[in-house]
Structure 1
Amino acid sequence: MKPQLLLAFGAIALMGCQPAEQSAPQNTPEAAAFEQFFTALAQHCGKAYPGGLTLEPEGDEMLTGTELLIVHFRQCSNEQLKLPFHIEQEATQSWDRSRTWIISRHADGLELRHDHRKADGSDDTTTMYGGFTVGEGSDITQQFQSIPRTEESGYFRGWRIEIEPGVRYTYGTVRGDNWSWRIDFDLTQPLAELPPAPWGHD
């Protein structure tokens, strides 16, 4: 089933939580684009979805392109979403549960942080890096800038997240205007069995 899933994600590329303890934020007609985006993400709270690698730079060996990836919209409040990212380790028949995407809502935009943990739950050497939204974005797309990487390279470096509720969730890195690394999740196929908590989380 995984090969068909990855083919579907390839086609998408060419085209283009536990249940919340607090209710998901509701938009008003005057809601800013980033607030509409946040609400679109929150619609999937309590569910997990399968995904796969769509784009990876030459020489990048983080993923092989054949493993199953899972995003879990696990913890949600009016101000923050926590989305664990689970990676199947095919060689060892185990799972890497070290990563959680944290998206926080502020008065003037969103903040993305990457919570990385070791298997014992302690912080990884590199953790909680990320950035804030830049530009207005839209209700389906927001970009987050990595200031250190942008300053080092002289052109925009950061992350892009896209959400088509009930269709697709996409996360990746961008260089300039283009994706440099990208993974897609199929929101039409919620998993019947939710993954366990990521490392270091209850």
Structure 2
Amino acid sequence: MTLKQQLYIITFLFTLPLIAQESSPSEVFWNTLKSHCGKAYEGSLALPEEDESFGGKKLVMHVRACSDNEIKIPFYVGDDKSRTWVINNDNGILTLKHDHRHEDGTEDDVNFYGGTASNAGKEDIQFFPADVATQKMIPGAATNVWWITIDDTTFTYNLRRLGTDRVFKVVMDITKPITEPEAPWGWIDK
């Protein structure tokens, strides 16, 4: 073995720990989202422009609770505090679920639907195709794909039902934190 080959191997062996320490795209996404824990932001409905349930209402997200494996983000639509996005991290694979509650805190009949990322995604975007439990609960949502984006200025929550015209997009301005809202319906601090 030549001296040049030996130096190459030694250099490779010393840089290997640095390569192994690089974060996966989902870890970078997770840490970026987690850096907003405790903060609330206001946003707007981007699609569909004419939506009876969301259009013209104050939209607020609050990155309310963060642990090593779970981030809970209540999403308020006007006075409606029924929705919480729950993102779980299982060894770098993220899952998005939707926790829906009634005003008295009881679970909605349609609850904890969502999907799991099929790979580590990208640092600024994660996709969540509908899972089997969602398909059983909401057969029409079998082709749902949710995705969340986050960068220095915006957080977006998106939904597309493949094979249909159904599309939904909320854009939150994460450059201007607002006063934290009250707890969502059914919230229990742990």
TM norm structure 2: 0.78
Q: Residue in 1 aligned with 2:173?
A: 186
Out of 73, 83, 101, the position equivalent to 1:117 is 101
Q: What is the CA–CA distance in structure 1 between the aligned matches of 2:49 and 2:114, rounded to whole Å? A: 20
Q: What is the CA–CA distance in structure 2 between the aligned matches of 1:70 and 1:200, rounded to whole Å? A: 17
Of Structure 1 and Structure 2, the greater helix share is in 2
Out of 141, 148, 156, the position equivalent to 1:170 is 156
Q: Residue in 2 aligned with 1:7?
A: none
CA positional deviation for 1:189: 1.1
Q: What is the CA–CA distance in structure 1 between the aligned matches of 2:135 and 2:104, rounded to whole Å? A: 33
Unaligned runs of 5+ in 1: 1-27, 89-94
Q: Equivalent residue of 2:118, what SS?
A: coil
Alignment map for 1:1-202 (pairs within 5 Å): 29-56=21-48, 60-64=51-55, 66-88=56-78, 95-147=79-131, 156-165=143-152, 167-176=153-162, 180-191=167-178, 193-202=179-188
State how many pairs are aligned: 165
Q: What is the CA–CA distance in structure 2 between the aligned matches of 1:179 and 1:136, rounded to whole Å? A: 26
Name which one, 1 or 2, has greater alpha-carbon Rg.
Answer: 2
Q: What is the CA–CA distance in structure 2 between the aligned matches of 1:186 and 1:97, rounded to whole Å? A: 19
Amino acid aligned to 2:53: M
1:28-52 Cα distance to aligned partner (Å, 9 max, x none): 8522111111111001111000011
Q: Identity, % of aligned pairs?
A: 36
The answer (yes or no) to whether the contact 2:40–2:63 under 8 Å persists in 1 is yes
CA positional deviation for 1:56: 1.4
CA positional deviation for 1:108: 4.5
Q: What is the CA–CA distance in structure 1 between the aligned matches of 2:98 and 2:170, rounded to whole Å? A: 15
CA positional deviation for 1:157: 2.4
CA positional deviation for 1:176: 4.4
CA-based RMSD: 2.6
Q: What is the CA–CA distance in structure 1 between the aligned matches of 2:147 and 2:72, rounded to whole Å? A: 16
Unaligned runs of 5+ in 2: 1-19
1:154-177 Cα distance to aligned partner (Å, 9 max, x none): x95220100013x10000102449
CA positional deviation for 1:70: 0.2
Q: Equivalent residue of 1:62, what SS?
A: coil
Q: Equivalent residue of 1:41, what SS?
A: helix
CA positional deviation for 1:134: 2.3
The answer (yes or no) to whether the contact 1:57–1:180 under 8 Å persists in 2 is no
Answer with 171-180 or 123-132: which moved more. 171-180
